[in-house]
Amino acid sequence: MNKQMDILLEAGTNEVEIVVFIIEEAVETGEPPYAWQFGVNVAKVLEIIRLPSYTEMPEASHPSVLGAFNLRNRVIPLVDLGLWLGIQLGGNEGAKVLVTEFNKVITAFKVSAVDRIHRLSWESIEPPSKQVSSFSDDSITGVVRMDKQVVFILDLEKIVSELNPRTAMSIESADICTTGERFKALVVDDSNTVRHLIRTQLERAGYDVTTVINGRKAWDWLQTHKEKAVSEGRPVTDFVHVVISDIEMPMMDGHNLTKRIKEDPVLKNVPVILFSSLISESLYHKGVAVGADLQVAKPDLGKVASSAREMIGKAFGLR
């Protein structure tokens, strides 16, 4: 499978292509294994291969790190997703490997089998319940019901960052603003951890920050405050100067949110910064197509605060 498949999706339609795969859980002797169904965005998958021969890593950070293998002169770590999720595996027969790339890191994930690709609206993907989040150690970002089955959308970024902390996002030093106007930022991300990190980074840089969990919540918030601004004859900057948004989110993704903002006559000048693991050379054009003012690849959090101030200055003549 080729990563370019996702490019066929038009930007801003609030659609996503999901690779659905299976992890089989061993049950009592004589019973067929239970098939857990999970999904991941096609845009993160470089290819799907058979389980290769691999070399064990004696000092692996977690039992789920099986080892590493060579794929076209690249040494790639191999992670057993079942072990990571605490699922008692049903064997290796027919196992497949998803080779993924996001946050500029290539990682391979062993699964029992791969089903097929589904094109979905983000509106059909629900945020996980507290129970589901607890079961997965907050590694599930969405739940979708299809073909009478429940598919869990996995947060592979969280898994990789916990296995390799060097790839994780962290709060960086920022110039603290002590003079001038305190700018107002709306931060949109379905990850509790990422929202907290962005909020902390921006507040250190002198921003007042509002956070919401997905594009739908953000759009509703923007509409409410836009109507208030219009009815009271106030500038929209009384409520928001910049929107910083993830792309992958249940209900409404960042591309669709950006498109709506840029098509709105009142909100169109508000800078939108897309901050996502999906910012890459092959997908950058999608953010451009919907009018994003800047696209920053995770985990480069330090660039967000400084760039936001520059974007606000250009949009509203403020410093």
**Does domain 169-316 match CATH 3.40.50.2300?**
yes
User: Domain spans of the chain?
Assistant: 3-164, 169-316
Nearest-5° Cα angle at 152, 150 to 157: 175
Nearest-5° Cα angle at 299, 75 to 63: 45
* Residue 316 and residue 269 in contact, taking contact as beta carbons nearer than 8 Å: yes
Cα 149 to Cα 125, 145, 294: the distances in Å are: 13, 6, 38
Percent of the chain with pLDDT over 70: 91
Side-chain half-sphere CA neighbours of 289 within 13 A: 13
Residues forming a β-bridge with 71: 74
* Residue 218 and residue 243 in contact, taking contact as beta carbons nearer than 8 Å: yes
Phi, psi for residue 26 in degrees, rounded to 5:
-65, 140
Distance of CA 161 to the CA centre of its chain: 13
Architecture of domain 3-164: Beta Barrel (2.40)
Rounded to whole angstroms, the Cα distance separating 129 from 193 reads 16
The 3-state DSSP class for residue 133 equals helix
* Residue 107 and residue 160 in contact, taking contact as beta carbons nearer than 8 Å: yes
DSSP 193-215: HHHHHHHHHHHHTT-EEEEESSH
The amino acid occupying position 96 is: K
Whether 3-164 and 169-316 share one fold: the answer is no
Quick one: pLDDT at residue 53?
94
The amino acid occupying position 28 is: E
pTM for the predicted model, two decimal places: 0.84
Question: Tens-digit pLDDT profile for the chain (319 aa)?
Answer: 444 444 445 778 999 999 999 999 887 766 778 889 999 999 999 999 999 999 998 777 788 999 999 999 999 999 999 999 888 776 777 899 999 998 888 999 999 999 999 999 999 999 888 888 777 777 888 999 987 889 999 988 888 888 887 766 665 655 555 456 789 999 999 888 889 989 999 998 889 999 999 999 999 999 999 999 999 999 999 999 999 999 999 999 999 999 999 999 999 999 999 999 888 777 889 999 999 999 998 888 888 988 998 999 999 887 6
Nearest to 16 by CA among 191, 254, 259, 292: 254
The per-residue pLDDT for range 70-93, each reduced to its tens digit, is 999 999 999 999 999 888 776 777
The per-residue pLDDT for range 228-239, each reduced to its tens digit, is 999 999 999 999
